[in-house]
A and B are shown apart, each in its own frame.
Chain A
Amino acid sequence: MIAQQLVNGIVTGSVYALFALGFTLIFGTFKILNLAHAGVFMSGAFIGYFAVLNGLPLWLALVLAMIGSGLISYIVELGAFATIRGSGQIEFGALISSIGANLCLMSLGQRLSNTKVLRFPFETFPVEFYEFGPVRFSFLQVIILLVVVVLLMAMMFYLYKTSFGRQIRAVSGNERVASLLGVNPGLVYFQTFFISGALAGVAGIMIGLSFNSIHFYMGEPYLLKAFVVVVLGGLGSVHGAVVAGMLLGIFQNLAVAYLPSALTETIIYGLLFVVLLVKPSGLFGSEGVQVGVARR
């Protein structure tokens, strides 16, 4: 029983990590709390759904969702953030304008779905189960874990081993200096928002498939979870987001299984509270990183 819950927790947690990673990437790089990340996540699920509905294979739907939500994420950057970047109020201003962008995306989703819950056609994904002793897991869970692990590794490689990653981290450190060294900040903004959005889009499809339920409001609960993950892991820390996402998933599954279900959320936020009391910068946070809005 406990092994089963651990497996389920790891799969749930990997999707949390995927969602939170895109969120923390934007925060870590540009000090923007992008609340429209929930809307981008939902857009990914919608794009995937409509692709499948039009007869495309699932893998192609996944690729389309990644590209589509990546572009939508960049459109959010152009509309909500680039326009106010010169004002000197980016940190607080972006928080507000991202709420606006999120509302736009949600309204669009609401219109497209007529406020209904959309479901993938029957047998979009083969329902198969494997058993290893006491542990039972589905083919979908295996695929989710596989996709998430591959994406996380690709992202780590990209950020820490390539010239593009170096450029992103340079702009994160000091945009002016980076541009003096030949880094084109516009290109870095595009890449970062695109990657963030693509990760959210994949997470959207994964969640849509897991619960076979896609609706315009599906991103909101994950946004709240992403806050927990990002704060728990340390603001802006990529490693922290992955570990904290997994921990949260496992913890949540165990709590649901062994404790009164009404207590689950209480325990999650209580845990967050305790971690922040003991280590205010989060599990992997550096002392230098502070919440952008409270900085001045």
Chain B
Amino acid sequence: MMLEVKDLAAAYSGIEALRGVSLHIEQGEMVALIGANGAGKSTLLNCLSGTVRAKRGSIRFDGSEIVGTRPHRVSRMGLLHVPEGRQILFELTVEENLLLGELARGSRTSDYGLSEVFKLFPILQERRLQRGGTLSGGQQQMLAIGRALMGGPKLLLLDEPSLGLSPIITDQVFDALQALNAAGLTILLVEQNANRALQVTKRAYLLEHGELAYQGNSADLLHDEKVIAHYLGHLPSA
């Protein structure tokens, strides 16, 4: 098992954001975590990557307990978090952003070096020497994903990769994620765009007010009346 979270609770600026969440991800899976704004999705990811300290519960990643481990150690273990809003380092060039990502790899081997990332996102190669801040939103998202890949992830956490992107660019990003997953990468995908997230995953969790409200097959969730009403709105095709 790649990730096993048990009874995780955390507070974020005094508010109880997570109240006992348990979930698990198997090696090679791509799992969606959906929920409304403020449901605790980002807090959950922050707990996993170590930037928010869990109040209670356990997180086992690739066989070791990581609650209380500092963020740079977590990422060096191979759990890489692409944060919400992409968070490109504006002053560094595209290439420097990518090379920085290499740091998390340490002595582990990785399937992804500069050339693989450039193959996945050719636009990054064109913009190689530009500052990160000059990229468009979609390119920044690609850079953020590429940068995490450079770290040789065993598990990739993505926080709202479609945020602020046009539908066409969103498709490109999701295509890339599906390709990565097909090549064996384990992915936890957090999305407000639930419809899109459920389409590309097999299994999903639904988070509501810091608790798991539903878990199961993504396809079932897509057709669940309550989920449709609350999270998907009117679906043309699903």
- CB-defined A-B contacts under 8 Å, sample of 21: A163-B100, A166-B92, A166-B96, A166-B100, A170-B92, A170-B100, A173-B90, A173-B91, A174-B89, A179-B51, A179-B72, A180-B81, A180-B83, A181-B72, A181-B75, A181-B100, A181-B104, A181-B148, A181-B151, A182-B101, A182-B151
A188 to chain B, nearest CB (A): 10
Report the bound CA distance from A169 to B97 in whole Å: 10
In the bound complex, residues from chain B placing their C-beta under 8 Å from that of A184 are 72
List residues 76-102 of chain B with CB under 8 A from any CB of chain A. Answer: 76, 80-81, 83, 87, 89-92, 96, 99-101
Tell me whether B154 is interfacial, beta carbon within 8 Å.
Answer: no
Determine whether the beta carbon of B87 is less than 8 Å from that of A183.
Answer: no
Tell me whether A212 is interfacial, beta carbon within 8 Å.
Answer: no
List residues 132-191 of chain A with CB under 8 A from any CB of chain B. Answer: 163, 166-167, 169-170, 172-174, 176-185
State the main secondary structure of chain A at its contact with B: helix
Determine whether the beta carbon of A180 is less than 8 Å from that of B91.
Answer: no
A158 to chain B, nearest CB (A): 14
Tell me whether B103 is interfacial, beta carbon within 8 Å.
Answer: yes
Tell me whether B71 is interfacial, beta carbon within 8 Å.
Answer: yes
In the bound complex, residues from chain A placing their C-beta under 8 Å from that of B99 are 163, 166
Report the bound CA distance from A181 to B89 in whole Å: 11
Our pick among B83, B96, B100 for the contact of A183 (Cβ within 8 Å) is B100
Known contacts A163-B103, A166-B99; is-contact A180 B92 (Cβ 8 Å): no
In the bound complex, residues from chain B placing their C-beta under 8 Å from that of A166 are 92, 96, 99-100
Report the bound CA distance from A83 to B81 in whole Å: 28
Known contacts A181-B75, A181-B147; is-contact A167 B87 (Cβ 8 Å): no
Determine whether the beta carbon of B91 is less than 8 Å from that of A182.
Answer: no
In the bound complex, residues from chain A placing their C-beta under 8 Å from that of B80 are 180-181
Closest A residue to B147 by CB, please name it.
A181
Closest A residue to B92 by CB, please name it.
A169
Q: Mark B64-79, 1 if CB is under 8 A from A, else 0.
A: 0000001110011000
Q: Mark A183-208, 1 if CB is under 8 A from B, else 0.
A: 11100000000000000000000000
Tell me whether B195 is interfacial, beta carbon within 8 Å.
Answer: no
A289 to chain B, nearest CB (A): 10
Report the bound CA distance from A177 to B101 in whole Å: 10
Report the bound CA distance from A184 to B72 in whole Å: 6
B88 to chain A, nearest CB (A): 8
In the bound complex, residues from chain A placing their C-beta under 8 Å from that of B106 are 182
A57 to chain B, nearest CB (A): 39
List residues 127-145 of chain B with CB under 8 A from any CB of chain A. Answer: none
Report the bound CA distance from A163 to B51 in whole Å: 23
Known contacts A163-B103, A169-B91; is-contact A176 B51 (Cβ 8 Å): yes
Report the bound CA distance from A169 to B103 in whole Å: 14
In the bound complex, residues from chain B placing their C-beta under 8 Å from that of A180 are 49, 51, 71-72, 75, 80-81, 83
In the bound complex, residues from chain B placing their C-beta under 8 Å from that of A169 are 89, 91-92, 96
Report the bound CA distance from A262 to B152 in whole Å: 63
Determine whether the beta carbon of A182 is less than 8 Å from that of B83.
Answer: no
Report the bound CA distance from A180 to B85 in whole Å: 14
Our pick among B71, B75, B100 for the contact of A167 (Cβ within 8 Å) is B100
Report the bound CA distance from A203 to B71 in whole Å: 37
Determine whether the beta carbon of B71 is less than 8 Å from that of A179.
Answer: yes
List residues 32-90 of chain A with CB under 8 A from any CB of chain B. Answer: none
Our pick among A163, A172, A177 for the contact of B87 (Cβ within 8 Å) is A177
Closest B residue to A177 by CB, please name it.
B87
Closest A residue to B82 by CB, please name it.
A180
Determine whether the beta carbon of A185 is less than 8 Å from that of B89.
Answer: no
Determine whether the beta carbon of A167 is less than 8 Å from that of B103.
Answer: yes
In the bound complex, residues from chain A placing their C-beta under 8 Å from that of B101 are 181-182
Most chain A beta carbons < 10 A, residue from B71, B91, B101, B106: B71
Known contacts A163-B99, A167-B103, A170-B100; is-contact A182 B92 (Cβ 8 Å): no
Our pick among A163, A174, A182 for the contact of B72 (Cβ within 8 Å) is A182
In the bound complex, residues from chain A placing their C-beta under 8 Å from that of B104 are 181-182
Determine whether the beta carbon of A185 is less than 8 Å from that of B72.
Answer: yes
Determine whether the beta carbon of B103 is less than 8 Å from that of A177.
Answer: no
Report the bound CA distance from A166 to B90 in whole Å: 12
Task: Kindly list the 6 A-B residue pairs having the minimum CB-CB distance in the complex, ordered from nearest.
Answer: A182-B104, A179-B71, A173-B89, A182-B103, A182-B75, A177-B87
Determine whether the beta carbon of B89 is less than 8 Å from that of A177.
Answer: yes
B15 to chain A, nearest CB (A): 17
In the bound complex, residues from chain B placing their C-beta under 8 Å from that of A172 are 91
Closest A residue to B85 by CB, please name it.
A177
B4 to chain A, nearest CB (A): 21
Determine whether the beta carbon of A181 is less than 8 Å from that of B103.
Answer: yes
Most chain A beta carbons < 10 A, residue from B51, B72, B101, B104: B72
In the bound complex, residues from chain A placing their C-beta under 8 Å from that of B51 are 176, 179-180
